[in-house]
Each structure stands twice: as C-alpha cells, then as structure tokens.
Structure 1
C-alpha cells in the first residue's frame, strides 16, 4: 500500500511513475527503518548507534535510498530537516515498519507457542481429571494462548476431529478412522461402580460377571467397549441405557442400579460411589491422544500435548 501511495506522490509532483515503479521494487524494509531512525534522531551518529551500524554505513544506505527515489529526503547534510518527499516517506515508512514489526512479533510468538488457539475435545474422565492440571501448567508458560476445551463422549470427540473443529482429542480410538491418528496415552481397568453401601462394594473382592446377573446394570457408551461374550450377554439383557457419564453416575448415586466404567472416571465423580475392579484384569480401556493424520499440530497445540503427557506420566500408571 505504501508503494502505491509513493507512486501517487511522484505523479502528483511531476515525476514519471513508470521509472519510480521500477525502483520501488528494490526498496527494502531495512532502508525504511534506517531512514525513519535518522529522521527521528536528527543526526547520523545517534541513528547509527540505535541501528548498531557505523555512521558511514547509515549514510551510504540513505544515499542509495535517495538514488532509487530520484529525489533527496533531507534538506541538508545534517539530516535534521526533511524535504516534502521526506515528510511523506517518513509517515508511510513508519506505518510500514510498525506493521512489519507486529507481523514479525506475531510470527515469532506463534512459533514459540506464545500465541494462537488450541482446540481440545476430550472425554469426561480426561476433561475433569487430567486437563485441569495440564491447563494450569500450560498457561503459566504460555499465558497468551487461547485454549478451548470441550467435554464430550468418544463418538463426538471423533466427530469434532473429523470435521476439523478440534486440533487434538483425548478418547478411545477403537478402530482406524481415515484421516485420524492416535497414540496411547494411558490405560485403566474396568470395574463396577456402585453406591458405597452396596454389597459388591462392601465385599472388597474383584467382581466376576456372573455376580452381575442379578444386578440392575445401567449400560453406558464406555462399557460397550468390552468385547467379552459373557458381559455382552449382560448388556443385551439390560433394561437401562444412559450414555452420558454424568447422567449415568447420577443414576447410580440414586441407587437406580450399578454400572461398569474405567477407574479414572471415579477420580472426580466418585466421592459417594465406589469402584470395584472386575476379576478379569485384561479388561482395560486405553485412552489415546488423537490428531489429524495429515495436519501437523501448531506449536501451541504441541506444547499443550506435551504438558498433558507430563501430567499423565506423573499421576497415572504407565501404559503397558
């Protein structure tokens, strides 16, 4: 824009625009910065010190600038009075330099993960137990980054990623999905969740599936990941299905029935509930960090992912 303004100035002052258009292409940002610094300082010596150059180098750059423009920028050699062209160039160049510096700062901030937006979609157990600590640590280091966290069930996490509405997801990727890639984050055991005074909780022993045959089992979206045929039969016979984790636990809390969930779920919601592990220790859930297969994470998103990994490594058992 400022080149076009200079061209208009030249035409208005009787200069040939085509010649100026050719020379304007060679004008560099460092020339503009040199000129503005000299104009603000009022002399070469002070400007040279600010620019970290010698006075002779600054003088030479100004001469090159004036040669390209075809007109002087200063009224005298002392460089303390601007010509009409100099005043015009000063205003345009200062705006250009300010804009350039802002662009460079924005680029550098983004590259350092000091700016940008991180969009996270996470299942409830991750959103309520891991992400709060991760968010606290992340913002201490990257306080200018905007972070949007949405809590949702696994199917919606995957949909958010597929539709490009999330940069990073935390859920269970049970089968390959085109365009998405997952890496294991942690594994936790499945167990029965029931009221604290329920007989299964009072026994203190791991629960076998045959013990659930007489219980009112509340099905949820997470326990449907269990492929065991005996448990599948229990699911098929169940009268109740509550897909929302929060609503499911509320029903258990009211002693409507029991449910089966991974252990981490109870870390935040289980003050008055109990987790009793299943007898089959092989029945586990693996939570993965899920991203776009063909899109690299932004520096800010990478930094957030690294903090999440750190929190998981410090607070949860390592994945097998």
Structure 2
C-alpha cells in the first residue's frame, strides 16, 4: 500500500481554507504566504489523487471529494490536538480544547453557569461553543466538529444518540402594552384571530410546535414567518403582533422588554437534550460538562402544567 505523502500542515491548510472559504484568510490564520498555501493544497490534492477545491476569482468551493474528506481531516486534527495537549499538560487535569454545539436559547440560559463550574475543574481546557440551529447542531456532531450538542430531537440516525434533558413549554409572547398582556390567565383560544408571528416550517422549533398543536387540535393563524427565534422576538418587539415561542427563547436579552405567559388549554412543549455520536467516547471534560448540564436542568424550577379549559 502506498504511503500518504503529505504533512500535518497540509491538512491544517485545507481545513482552514474550507472553513473560511478563502486562501487569504487561511494564509493570515496560519501565518503563511498565499503561494505557500497554494503549494500545500496542490501537494495534498496530488496525494489524494483528485481536486479538493474549486477556486474562482470571488470564492472557494469544495469539490465532492473535498466535502467527503473535510470532516475526516477536521476530526483527525482535533483529536490529534487534544491528544498532544493532554500529553504536554501537567497537573491533575489535562489541558486541551472542548468543542460543543448548542441552540442559542440553551446557550443563553444555562451555558454561562455550567461553563463557569467546568472551569473550576478543568482550568486549562479551552471551550468553543458553536451557536447553531438544531439541524446544524446535528451536522456538527455527525461530522465530529462538536463532541456533543444541546439541541432538539433529530430524526432517526444510527450514528447519533439523543438523551432528553427537559421539556421547554411554548407560551404567549407579547409586548407589555398588548391587550393580551392584561389577561391574568391567557388561553390558547385567546389567540384566535390574532396576527401571529412565527418561525418558518422548516425549523426544529416550528416542527415541535406544529406537532403539539396538532395533537391538541389547536389551529392558529400565522401572519408573519421568519427564520430565527431572535427575528420573531424582534417583530413582536416592533409591535407587529404576538407570538408563540418556547420559554427559554424568551429568557435572553432579546426578550427583556417582552412578556412570556403560559397558555391554558393544552400543554405544548419542545424537548431539549444532548446529542452525541454513538461510536465516540467523550473526553473527560465533555463528560463532566454533560453532568453539569444534567444537574442544571434538574435544578431549574418547573413551570406549572397548563390547565384544561
């Protein structure tokens, strides 16, 4: 079998170009000249035996072969970096880097406290948090870009394991001057005829909401559709109408001037949990962080269940 005639720096160059979609940014990141970057790519492509990048005057794209090899090289580099840093570390706890993914609402609510607690045990571990959608979280875990993700459930995938942590209820979100805010005990039926703001049907949050509404036999009139929860909050804040959003999404700074209320008549919630690769062993720092997350979710006050009308 022929030996693979390329170096570690060749792999780092390719991953940097693929992630930044730019030879210039890769050169600046790795402190190399652009000609040196080009030679490294050519050497790697010659070893692999096929082009990995398509370069035009304005952008850089991965070829099918490049798309296939990128997650493999990324995972190899991250595992190598963590192993080398662990060997070089001194003291009781190893040094290294921990990368996780998280949906934004979970990032805002729980990660600051648990990361502070993790830092007391693993002072030399650098942490990178990828703020992603539920679909992007699953892809980051699947490709090895993140050790695990705090996210919504995913469709059946033999390579991934999902462990539920908590249910996050949907409720009314409105401005303080909205007539709905004056209702002491709002119900789903109070939303009839409202010009409601929502997220688009392709999102994990909308999928969970639609499924819960269908089970409860509730029909709502969506008037404005956006891509992100933060955009929905912005439209509500602008006075375009109320919305139905998860409680955690309304505990961050984007919703500080808005009101969130549970809705009477049916309990509709999304599940938040941890997604990881079935075949991968978590690093000690990642395992500790998962334990801290479980404790944090368990300790949070649970909302009162919705009452039937």
Bucket of the pairwise TM-score, normalised by the shorter protein: 0.5 to 0.7
1:193/1:306 Cα in 2 relative to 1: closer, same or farther (>3 Å)? same
Alignment of 1:69-218 (within 5 A): 106-107=86-87, 113-208=93-188, 210-218=189-197
Aligned equivalent of 2:208: 225
Counterpart of 1:178 in 2: which secondary structure? coil
Residue of structure 1 aligned with 2:297, choices 300, 307, 312: 312
1:130 positional shift: 0.1
Equivalent residue for 1:289?
274
For 1:153 and 1:105, the matched residues in 2 are separated by: 30
1:249 paired to 2:228: no
Q: Structure 1 residues 104 and 225, CA, compared in 2 at 3 Å: closer, same or farther? A: closer
Q: Aligned partners of 2:232, 2:270: CA distance in 1, in Å?
A: 18
| Alpha-carbon offset, residue 163 of structure 1 | 2.1
Q: Is the 8 A contact 1:200 1:276 kept in 2?
A: no
Task: Call closer, same or farther: CA 1:158–1:104 in 2, change over 3 Å.
Answer: closer
Q: 2:85–2:95: 8 Å Cα contact kept in structure 1? A: no
Of structures 1 and 2, the larger Rg is shown by 1
Unaligned runs of 5+ in 2: 1-82
Contact 2:208 2:269 in 1 (8 A): no
Q: TM-score, normalised by structure 1?
A: 0.60
2: CA distance between counterparts of 1:243 and 1:191?
19
> 1:273 corresponds to which residue?
258
User: How many angstroms does 1:257 deviate by?
Assistant: 1.7
CA distance in 1, matches of 2:225, 2:233: 12
Distance 1:137 1:211, change over 3 A: same
1:232–1:203 CA distance, 2 compared to 1 (3 A): closer
Secondary structure in 1 aligned to 2:95? Answer: coil
Does the 8 Å contact 1:190/1:263 carry over to 2?
Answer: yes
Which is richer in strand?
2
**Structure 1 vs Structure 2 CA RMSD:** 2.7
Structure that is richer in helix per residue: 1
Structure 1 counterpart of 2:242, from 238, 258, 261: 258
Report the CA distance between 1:280 and its aligned residue.
3.5
| Partner SS, residue 252 of structure 2 | helix
Unaligned regions of 5+ residues in structure 1, if any?
Answer: 1-102
Superposed CA deviations along residues 34-85 of structure 1, whole A, max 9, x for unmatched, are: xxxxxxxxxxxxxxxxxxxxxxxxxxxxxxxxxxxxxxxxxxxxxxxxxxxx
CA distance in 2, matches of 1:110, 1:176: 41
Q: Find the residue that maps to 1:200 and give its secondary structure.
A: helix
